[in-house]
Amino acid sequence: MAVIWNKTVGDDCYEIRKAGNSIRLYKNQVFHSQWNPDRPLSSGVWDLLFLPALFLPVGRVRRVLLLGVGGGAVINQYLRLLSPEKIVGVELDAQHLKIARRFFSLRHSSVELHCADAISWLQQYDGEPFDVIIEDLFTEQAGEPQRVVTADQQWYSLLLSPLSAAGVLVINFEDPAQMRASGAAYRSALGSSEDIRFQLTQPTYGNSVCAHLSQPAKPAFLREQLSTVLEQFPASRTAAQRFRLRRVS
């Protein structure tokens, strides 16, 4: 793997590495994003942020909000496989957005990127609802990724406010224990609505991604849609199936 670009800004060191057709972003030695246009799903943790969208019929995913853009691998997955009308990305690190545009080709007309604090941006948002909202807000601590927002009732209420009536909320947690600990806060934010959650994990990552659904859904439907969207990408077929999905009770 070759380092094709690097830059130090203050105390932060950014690197772009390339292996074959894959582009990777590292910040302070932490692996943030990977994208290969020939393999839009490649068994990365980013797959877990994309897959819950397939609980919805493909044509229903019109508007997507991503909090924490990184290099933009997740945005590229949505563009490549679902072609939504609008993807809004909110990222605090201005350097990440420059990298996303330059190396990850996030210059598509349907992509709108904001350099802003995600909490403040959500508090001020007063626009059209989103069909999928992805919360992937991480920083680095001692060379390890670490969540920057506690998933308490207040945070859940803020995340749910711009979600469409049949939408999907996706949150990336450091591990299953952290995800389980957020359950009571989510149920409090839901009120009388039904609690429908699924946990997604990868064998090679410790992260636990939680998909919060507004309507009942079956894992078999997600897997059927996954096979359909990958018909043009045979190199991704095997890698894309390397995830575990279970209902959270």
Q: Are 111 and 32 in contact (CB under 8 A)?
A: no
- Encode pLDDT of 138-196 as tens digits: 988 887 889 999 999 999 999 999 999 999 999 999 999 999 999 999 999 999 999 99
Question: What pLDDT score was predicted for residue 38?
Answer: 92
**How much of the chain exceeds pLDDT 90, in percent?**
90
Chain centroid to Cα 79, Å, comes to 13
User: How many degrees, rounded to 5, is the angle at CA 169 between CA 92 and CA 129?
Assistant: 80
Residue boundaries of the structural domains of the chain: 41-248
Half-sphere exposure of 39 (CA within 13 A, CB side): 19
Architecture label for domain 41-248 = 3-Layer(aba) Sandwich (3.40)
Question: What pLDDT score was predicted for residue 145?
Answer: 87
CA distance 3 to 181: 39
What region does 23 belong to: left with phi over 0, alpha with psi -120 to 50, or beta?
beta
Q: Which of 30-34, 95-99, 210-214, 225-229 is least confident? A: 30-34
E strands, 10-153, in order? 12-19, 22-27, 30-35, 63-67, 86-91, 111-115, 130-135, 138-141, 144-147
**pTM of the model as a whole:** 0.97
Q: Are 64 and 53 in contact (CB under 8 A)?
A: yes
- Encode pLDDT of 79-119 as tens digits: 999 999 999 999 999 999 999 999 999 999 999 999 999 99
